[in-house]
Chain A
Amino acid sequence: MSNSIPSIELYAAPTAGSGHGDHTDAPRSFRPALVQLVLVRWREFIREPEALFWTFIFPLLLAGGLGIAFRNRPPETVRVGVLVAPRSGAHANASINVGATTVPPAALDLPAILKARPTLAVDVFTDDSAAVRALRTGAVALVVTQTQPGMAAYRFDPSRPDARTARTLVDETVQRAAGRRDPVTVQERTISERGSRYIDFLIPGLLGMSLMGTGIWSVVFSIVTARTKKLLKRLVATPMSRADYLLSFIIARFVFLVAEVVFLLGFGTLVFGVPIRGSLGSLAIVCILGAFSFNALGLLLASRAKTVEAVSGLTNLVMMPMWIFSGVFFSSSNFPSAFQPFIKALPLTATVDALRAIMLQGATLPAVAGQLGILLVWLVLSFTIALRIFRWR
């Protein structure tokens, strides 16, 4: 084998080495180490099917699932129960009652009347205990019983919104069937405007959450794994520039970012018709700044941790409040006003608020300057602290 080794000059002085044989693979490109490091990031990412799933497929599934669950649809039907007397004894009872009271309105055929109302679904019970069970388990929202002609009893739980709706609908139907006339004529006009539906609210939230998730995890996993495998230590034993190493995460992230954002927003606009009213440029700037802030936060989280387990706990601890408070799934204004300054300072709140303002209200960059400022502060602070305390071994 020794014949395959080119002879080398022995060490003589620090400047020696001009005699080293073949020194180049190809013409040296611009910052070869940075290019290679970015390629490595890219390869490690696309060769990890799970990472691809969590970055691209999972947000789509979430958007699709929630979009369908909360889609705008015709008014929902309410399921109610009608308790009628068993057939054999019922006739005897009814005839006795009718005979006894001779109330003018004849006994109403409640099942038929209620079934005629399109927004009501009707279950007929002949057994009281079965009706009670259905009520308790929520199978029906309300049970109506005709106690005697001209009188009805409603059984329902007023703390349940659908039960209150059921009471209104059932009562109106029964009263009209019994002859009530409404003195005022009403015209109804319903609207469903793009931009004010739940899916419109949700897509920018999911985009923000996705930027946070991939931004933080991609950095945290790579760095801490490299540290536990002593790869980080091996790399710093080479002349590799440490700045190049950290920069490679941000540059590689930029490539995934474009794919991730286009994928999710494309899905939202094509499938659900979610509007993008502001300029695409402003949207891109918010996405980039948000993604880099989360990158820097990831760098900070990964700067000392020695095991993946430790950093996973830490990362979840940091992301948890943002999942809850930052208004991804519901508006953060639901939280008490004392919490609001804290909530507004979270990077995910800033990202999601800015994305919603641009997409749904057509806001311009100056209008979201506050949010951009918050993101910039997170970016600079996290990055500076991370560089200071980073453990390279």
Chain B
Amino acid sequence: MSVTLASSAPSATCALFVRGLRKHYDDVVAVDGLDLDVPTGECFGLLGPNGAGKTTTIEICEGLTQADSGEVVVLGQRWATDANALRERLGIQLQETQLSDKLTVEETLRLFRSFYRRGRTVNDVIALVQLEEKRNARVVTLSGGQKQRLALACALVGDPELLFLDEPTTGLDPQSRRQLWELVESLKAAGRTILLTTHYMDEAEQLCDRIAIVDHGRVIALGTPKELIATLGAEQIVFFAVDPSATESLSAEALQSIASAVGAPRAPRAADGGWELQVAAPHRAIPALLGELARRGLRLAELRTHSPTLEDVFVTLTGRALRDE
């Protein structure tokens, strides 16, 4: 995994090239020296908690926000000199746009289509986002998932070379999320370049070829989901809880000794009223853990294991959970 990017100029196949991006609002630093490289045809994800600077970053790339400093090259062009040409080539979905309630799906898309010199037909994109039955329905009558698909259709109607999706599934029910994922996957399959932001690790894992984990306006890890998870060096995450459930019942020193007894690289981390332990070989680590607990006279109340996820990567890197829920 390499967070430092070597090249200082965009290559010919680079759809998005960002170097040293900085932006602050009043006394809050939103983006703090961020670098990105998105090659053509890739689905690239910015993963991070709310307030990490993802939206500010994507809006700078979309030409909606001015950076304090740094370099942004989009599709070989720059906002300062080629804004009009660039807008023709990008498809954008903002995080919280509400389209006009009084227009129908078709009218909304006709409006957006009229802004682009080139693009796809309105019928085409309606079929693409599966809103045929809602073609003549007013936007106000659409469900959250349908509104989001309409927003995606608005982003696609100009037949963009690069698609920006900011939190495309936030606030959607599981079924609508899955539907939107399928849509994004079909766009990926068609070879479209996509930059999306999300704070759902499962979404990033499912959709993105590569992910930049963003925290406090910086990229703290970069790679494919597999690579990122592999950096943990753990095959399984073991969760255990002891009786009485108080997490304070184990001293730091005790936790460290548990970790070394089971051969875990890091001390267990408090979570959900119990402890999480990253282990490389569960078939050896779990018996060792049970033995160590028994030796200390602790009664096991709960034991679970799961495969490591990007959430675990984020927690390991920052010590915080991705979603503060």
B63 adjacent to A231 (CB under 8 Å):
no
**Cα separation A2 to B128 with both chains bound (whole Å):** 9
B98 adjacent to A238 (CB under 8 Å):
no
A17 adjacent to B75 (CB under 8 Å):
no
A1 adjacent to B110 (CB under 8 Å):
no
Task: For the complex, count residues of A whose C-beta is within 8 A of B.
Answer: 44
Closest A residue to B183 using CB positions? A1
**Cα separation A40 to B128 with both chains bound (whole Å):** 24
**Cα separation A123 to B159 with both chains bound (whole Å):** 85
A230 adjacent to B97 (CB under 8 Å):
yes
**Cα separation A134 to B62 with both chains bound (whole Å):** 77
A236 at the B interface (CB under 8 A): yes
B202 at the A interface (CB under 8 A): no
CB contacts (< 8 Å) of A239 on chain B: these are 84, 87-88, 115-117, 158
B124 adjacent to A237 (CB under 8 Å):
no
In chain A, positions 199-258 with a C-beta closer than 8 Å to chain B are 226, 229-231, 233-240
B323 at the A interface (CB under 8 A): no
**Shortest CB distance B90–A (Å):** 8
B85 adjacent to A14 (CB under 8 Å):
yes
CB contacts (< 8 Å) of A20 on chain B: these are 118, 159
A192 at the B interface (CB under 8 A): no
A44 at the B interface (CB under 8 A): yes
B282 at the A interface (CB under 8 A): no
A40 adjacent to B107 (CB under 8 Å):
yes
Residue from B15, B63, B121 having most chain A Cβ neighbours under 10 A: B121
B94 adjacent to A234 (CB under 8 Å):
yes
CB within 8 Å for A230 and B98 given contacts A17-B118, A238-B112: yes
Closest B residue to A226 using CB positions? B100
Cβ-neighbour of B190 out of A7, A24, A25 (below 8 A): A7
B116 adjacent to A238 (CB under 8 Å):
yes
CB contacts (< 8 Å) of A233 on chain B: these are 64, 94, 97
CB within 8 Å for A35 and B114 given contacts A230-B94, A233-B64: yes
Closest A residue to B127 using CB positions? A4
A5 at the B interface (CB under 8 A): yes
Closest A residue to B130 using CB positions? A1
B243 at the A interface (CB under 8 A): no
CB contacts (< 8 Å) of B296 on chain A: these are none
0/1 interface trace, chain B 93-108, chain A, CB 8 Å (1 if under): 0101111101100010
**Shortest CB distance B180–A (Å):** 12
B19 at the A interface (CB under 8 A): no
**Cα separation A4 to B325 with both chains bound (whole Å):** 39
CB within 8 Å for A5 and B64 given contacts A14-B77, A229-B97, A231-B97: no
B193 adjacent to A11 (CB under 8 Å):
yes
A87 at the B interface (CB under 8 A): no
CB within 8 Å for A236 and B64 given contacts A20-B159, A25-B113: yes
Cβ-neighbour of A237 out of B64, B84, B89, B162 (below 8 A): B64
Task: For the complex, count residues of B whose C-beta is within 8 A of A.
Answer: 60
CB within 8 Å for A33 and B183 given contacts A234-B94, A239-B84: no
**Cα separation A20 to B190 with both chains bound (whole Å):** 13
**Shortest CB distance A82–B (Å):** 65
**Shortest CB distance A200–B (Å):** 39
**Shortest CB distance A273–B (Å):** 39
CB within 8 Å for A1 and B190 given contacts A40-B111, A239-B87: no
CB within 8 Å for A48 and B120 given contacts A2-B189, A43-B107, A238-B115: no
CB within 8 Å for A43 and B118 given contacts A1-B183, A22-B124, A25-B113: no
B119 adjacent to A23 (CB under 8 Å):
yes
Cβ-neighbour of B191 out of A10, A21, A43 (below 8 A): A10
Cβ-neighbour of A231 out of B100, B113, B118, B191 (below 8 A): B100
CB contacts (< 8 Å) of B76 on chain A: these are 13-14
CB contacts (< 8 Å) of A23 on chain B: these are 118-120, 159
**Cα separation A240 to B92 with both chains bound (whole Å):** 13
CB contacts (< 8 Å) of A6 on chain B: these are 120, 124
B182 adjacent to A40 (CB under 8 Å):
no
CB within 8 Å for A40 and B87 given contacts A14-B75, A25-B122: no
A8 at the B interface (CB under 8 A): yes
B159 adjacent to A32 (CB under 8 Å):
no
**Cα separation A230 to B167 with both chains bound (whole Å):** 15
Closest B residue to A393 using CB positions? B64
B114 adjacent to A36 (CB under 8 Å):
yes
In chain A, positions 37-51 with a C-beta closer than 8 Å to chain B are 37, 39-40, 43-44, 47-48
CB within 8 Å for A11 and B162 given contacts A17-B118, A44-B102, A230-B96: yes
**Shortest CB distance A320–B (Å):** 29
What are 11 of the A-B contact pairs (CB < 8 Å)? A1-B186, A2-B186, A5-B128, A6-B124, A11-B15, A11-B40, A39-B107, A226-B100, A233-B94, A238-B92, A239-B158
Binding site for A on B (CB under 8 A): 12-13, 15, 40-41, 62-64, 75-77, 82, 84-85, 87-90, 92, 94, 96-100, 102-103, 107, 110-122, 124, 127-128, 130, 138, 154, 158-159, 161-162, 182-183, 186-187, 189-193
10 A-B pairs with least C-beta separation: A229-B98, A36-B114, A239-B87, A32-B114, A238-B115, A234-B97, A240-B115, A47-B102, A2-B186, A33-B114
